[in-house]
Chains A and B, each alone.
Chain A
Amino acid sequence: MNSCAESLTMPRSVLATTSQLKVSGLAKRFDGCSQSVFSDVNFTISTGQSVALIGANGAGKSTLLRCCARLIEPDAGSIILDGEALSSKSGSELRKARNRVGFVFQKHCLVPRLSALTNVLHGNLAHRSGPRNWLQGFARQEDRGRAMDCLNQVGMAHVADKRCDQLSGGQAQRVAIARALMQDPKMLFADEPTASLDPQSGDDIMELFSSLVKVRGLTLFFVSHHIEHALNYSDRILGLQERQLLLDTPSQSESLPSLRAFYA
Chain B
Amino acid sequence: MLERGGETVTSAHKANLSVIGDQMPVRFERPSWLSNILCALFLLFLLWSMSSAGLSLSDLLEGLPNMATIAGEMVPPATDRAGPMANAILVTFQMALVGTVIGILISIPVAMLMARNTSPHPIVRHVARSVVSFFRTVPDLAWALFFVASVGLGAFAGTLTIIIDTIGFCARFFAESMEEVDPGPSEALASIGASPIDRIVVVLLPSAMPSFINTSLFSLEKAVRSSVVLGLVGAGGIGAELAVSMEMFRYDQAATIVIMIFVLVFAVEQFSSVIRNRLLRQNV
- Which of chain B's residues have a CB closer than 8 A to the CB of A176? 188
- Which of chain A's residues have a CB closer than 8 A to the CB of B26? none
Among B185, B189, B193, B283, max chain A CB count under 10 A is at B193
Q: Are B283 and A161 in contact (CB under 8 A)?
A: yes
For residue A97, CB closer than 8 A to chain B, the reply is yes
Q: Are B197 and A69 in contact (CB under 8 A)?
A: no
For residue B194, CB closer than 8 A to chain A, the reply is yes
Q: Are B195 and A129 in contact (CB under 8 A)?
A: yes
Q: Which of A101, A115, A163 contacts B192 (CB 8 A)?
A: A101
For residue A109, CB closer than 8 A to chain B, the reply is yes
Tell me which of A42-50, A118-126, A208-216 binds B: A118-126
A183 to B185, CA, bound (A): 15
Q: Are B202 and A99 in contact (CB under 8 A)?
A: no
Among B184, B201, B202, B210, max chain A CB count under 10 A is at B202
List which A114-161 residues lie within 8 A (CB) of chain B.
114-115, 118, 122-123, 125-126, 129-131, 133-135, 137, 161
For residue B206, CB closer than 8 A to chain A, the reply is yes
Q: Are B209 and A126 in contact (CB under 8 A)?
A: no
Among B184, B185, B192, max chain A CB count under 10 A is at B192
A105 to B186, CA, bound (A): 12
| Chain A, interface SS category | mixed
- Which of chain B's residues have a CB closer than 8 A to the CB of A105? 184, 187-188
- Which of chain A's residues have a CB closer than 8 A to the CB of B12? none
Number of residues of chain B lying within 8 A (CB) of chain A:
22
A130 to B184, CA, bound (A): 21
- Which of chain B's residues have a CB closer than 8 A to the CB of A162? 283
- Interface magnitude class on chain A: 35 or more
A185 to B188, CA, bound (A): 14
For residue B75, CB closer than 8 A to chain A, the reply is no
For residue B133, CB closer than 8 A to chain A, the reply is no
Q: Are A134 and B192 in contact (CB under 8 A)?
A: no
For residue B203, CB closer than 8 A to chain A, the reply is yes
A111 to B183, CA, bound (A): 10
Given contacts A129-B197, A134-B201, contact A111 B192 (CB under 8 A): no
For residue B207, CB closer than 8 A to chain A, the reply is yes
Q: Mark A98-116, 1 if CB is under 8 A from B, else 0.
A: 1101110101011111110
- Which of chain B's residues have a CB closer than 8 A to the CB of A226? none
- Which of chain B's residues have a CB closer than 8 A to the CB of A118? 202, 284
- Which of chain B's residues have a CB closer than 8 A to the CB of A137? 284
Q: Which of B191, B201, B283 contacts A98 (CB 8 A)?
A: B191
- Which of chain B's residues have a CB closer than 8 A to the CB of A129? 194-195, 197-198
For residue B142, CB closer than 8 A to chain A, the reply is no
Q: Are A69 and B194 in contact (CB under 8 A)?
A: no
Shortest distance in angstroms between B271's beta carbon and chain A's nearest beta carbon? 23
Among B188, B189, B195, max chain A CB count under 10 A is at B188
Q: Mark B245-284, 1 if CB is under 8 A from A, else 0.
A: 0000000000000000000000000000000000000011
Q: Are B202 and A125 in contact (CB under 8 A)?
A: yes
For residue A71, CB closer than 8 A to chain B, the reply is yes
Among B194, B210, B284, max chain A CB count under 10 A is at B194
Q: Are A125 and B191 in contact (CB under 8 A)?
A: no
- Which of chain B's residues have a CB closer than 8 A to the CB of A130? 198
Among A96, A122, A126, A183, max chain B CB count under 10 A is at A122
Which A-B residue pairs are the 4 nearest by beta carbons? A109-B188, A95-B193, A98-B193, A125-B194
- Residues of chain B at the chain A interface (Cβ within 8 Å): 184-185, 187-195, 197-198, 201-203, 206-207, 209-210, 283-284
Can you name 20 A-B residue pairings with CB atoms under 8 Å? A69-B191, A71-B190, A96-B193, A99-B193, A102-B192, A107-B184, A109-B185, A110-B185, A111-B185, A112-B207, A113-B207, A122-B194, A125-B193, A126-B194, A129-B194, A134-B198, A135-B284, A176-B188, A183-B192, A189-B191
